[in-house]
Amino acid sequence: MLDSTNMIVVTGGAGFIGSNLVQALNQQGRDDIIVVDDLRDGHKFINIADCSIADYLDFAEFREQLALGAYRGLQAVFHQGACSTTTEWDGRYMMDNNYSYSKALLHHCLHNSIPLIYASSAAVYGANEQFVEQPACEQPLNVYGYSKLLFDQYVRRVAKLERPYSQVAGLRYFNVYGPREQHKGSMASVAFHLHGQLAKGDRVRLFEGSDGYAAGEQRRDFIFVGDAVAVNLWLLESGVSGIFNVGTGRSQTFNDVASAVIAHHGRGQIDYIPFPEGLKEAYQSYTQADMQKLKAAGYSQEFKTVEQGVAEYLATLEAPV
């Protein structure tokens, strides 16, 4: 087995945020990175094909090795791996991937004094319109959100975040978009889908109104993936523990995203379509991260607007591979 002393593990490292994190570490001069992922969908290889890493492990093998006591000398773990399909209702599968796996990794890191920075989700808030990192605001609408919330609650109890054995930081991602998400299918960002629709014609599609919002006026906190990665790297450098929202602190409409995509292409019109059966009841029509806790911890970098981030993103989609 490779000597992993002082290396960095990125679980979900061939996925969307994970591969962007690997790339950012490379840009810092780090290539002592172990990527852990599940490549049954082999198309994801493209996300790390241009990255420099020390090793790759299937996540099942990694879990087995953890149980045997391997990887005790790591410098840090960025735990981005999860089932992120919000429409998945196989609760047993979801809880094994997002809860049991995360618990095992948490205990490994705590017992070996390894910093753990992990992906939570704004899905823990559900239909609540207060997005503060407090139990009173946490009301998930689906089993994905519940799996993320349950692990956050477990971290609060076990890691004793006021005095943790080692750094433990959870990141409640809001609507992240940007390069290296093409493998996500229906779970890819609205910007990605609208870009693809304009490549095939002159019209883009958004959902009709819901929860008192007019068509396309539902609001989300859209954050560019590079900004989400920057928070991860800052947390490792700062050593701060806690559970933090990772958004921009401002909501923008789906119409804003569509307008940004149309502006980039210089053409296009918007059609509004009904919600698919069963989706409307579990749909967040409004999100806006309360960023006070992260700012109070010392984070001061600015976040891109939808207009800035979408323009940067779409330029990469049109660049030669």
Which residues are catalytic, by number?
144, 184
Helix (H) or strand (E) holding 57, with range, is strand 55-58
Contacts 24+ apart (CB under 8 A), 275-280: 275/207, 275/208, 275/210, 279/87, 280/210
Q: How far apart are CA 94 and CA 148, in angstroms?
A: 10
* The Cα angle at residue 103 between residues 164 and 158, in degrees rounded to 5: 35
Q: Pull the structure tokens for residue 29.
A: 């001069």
Q: How far apart are CA 140 and CA 127, in angstroms?
A: 7
- According to DSSP, residue 301 is labeled -
Please answer whether residues 76 and 115 qualify as being in contact, where contact means their C-beta atoms are separated by less than 8 angstroms.
yes
Helix (H) or strand (E) holding 16, with range, is helix 16-27
**Cβ-based neighbours of 302, under 8 Å, separated by 6 or more:** none
Please answer whether residues 39 and 19 qualify as being in contact, where contact means their C-beta atoms are separated by less than 8 angstroms.
no
**How many residues in the chain?**
321
